Structure 1
Amino acid sequence: MSSALLQKQLSTSLSKGEKRILLIRHAERHPFEKGSLGLEVGLTSQGKKSAEQLGHSLKDITVNKILTSPVERCIHTSECFVKGYGKSCAIEPSSLIGSPGPFIFDPDAAGPVFLSTHLIEVAQSIVKGVSLPGMRTLSEGGQIFLDHVSTLDSKITLMISHDIIIALLSAFLLQDVHVENYMPDFLKGLLIEYTGNKISRLTQLT
């Protein structure tokens, strides 16, 4: 979905009880070093520019809140978005969507799995119900996310997260085992629309 189409969909007026969650991956980052979880890896100059451009493209939309993974590149993505957005918007770090996110309950136990296994293989194992050290099942992690979203009172919330978290949530919400199809590019992800406490529409942002 292009920025113009996203803006059009977000600008549609919301009725009472309706809300939208824009869940996207952080902007372009530098490559990870081998043997590192990459938590300290920051944005490239192009990534910062792209996040600003996204913010500017949505300047006519009222984004009520930004929830971001506590990882530095996600926080910087949020800050660059707000810079381009041109209006004040609260940025709130949240472990719900990163470090550790909804699918990890023990980062120390889960860390070695990510160092030794390709990211897509980790995601596929979770979707298949394979028990992995320090990690929750797909349904457990997905429900933790939904329970938190149900408490949000903002009309439009932007969430800045990570590829595997977005892919797993997409597979859970869309009830599709092909999680590899939902690994998002930078600043892409999922638009979740609610009526009351029920999801009314899911749109993959590619």
Structure 2
Amino acid sequence: MIETDVRKLFTLEDGVQVERHVRIVDNSFVFTNHKGETISKKMRITEDLIKYVVTELVGEEALSIIFYLRGKKQISEFIIAEELDLEIHLVRNLLYRLLEFNIVSFIRKKDRIKGWYICYWDFNEHMVPYLAEKIRLSKITKLKERLEREQKHTFYMCRNACVRMPFEKSMEFHFKCPECGTLMHEQDNKRTMEFIKHQLKELESMKKIC
């Protein structure tokens, strides 16, 4: 039996809010417009993609929670803590960190017996491709900014490689390392720029995720 689920998302594209729908079919996703028309190819949400996104945004320590929630619905944070043998305060901390990126969501229900509210959590698997693409674009932007700095500035460094400073900052220290006191020399940053360009090429050549 093929399982199908449809989720509605609102994303910002060039500063404009755009309505997007995600149709999840057998653990794969297809992006559609509000009419249900496909606007991107079907792509499988793999375990590796989930690991990549969660690790990049929150950290490896949150992976056990995500994979426990995967395929389940509205799981109490107390159940999560018990099943994973984790302290409840740690579970809550990780869940709220995941919530910051909409990787998870929750609803609050009042316990009829105890009278307090309990949070029940879901893993928003459909957000993974959007977040993966956001990470990719963010890395590209940062690398371009770094490359621009490398191209515009001359850098100086001591033989012990304590610190690396642009020309203007080096002048303030009279070209002497503030850490070890030895003379700082101009650094040839051609290899640094080539490395950045290589990273940029790899990221830009990656298939756009969404």
Instruction: Please tell me whether Structure 1 or Structure 2 has the larger radius of gyration of its CA atoms.
Output: 2
- Normalized per residue, the structure richer in strand is 2
Q: Scaled by the length of structure 2, what TM-score is found?
A: 0.26
RCO higher in structure (CA 8 A, sep ≥6): 1
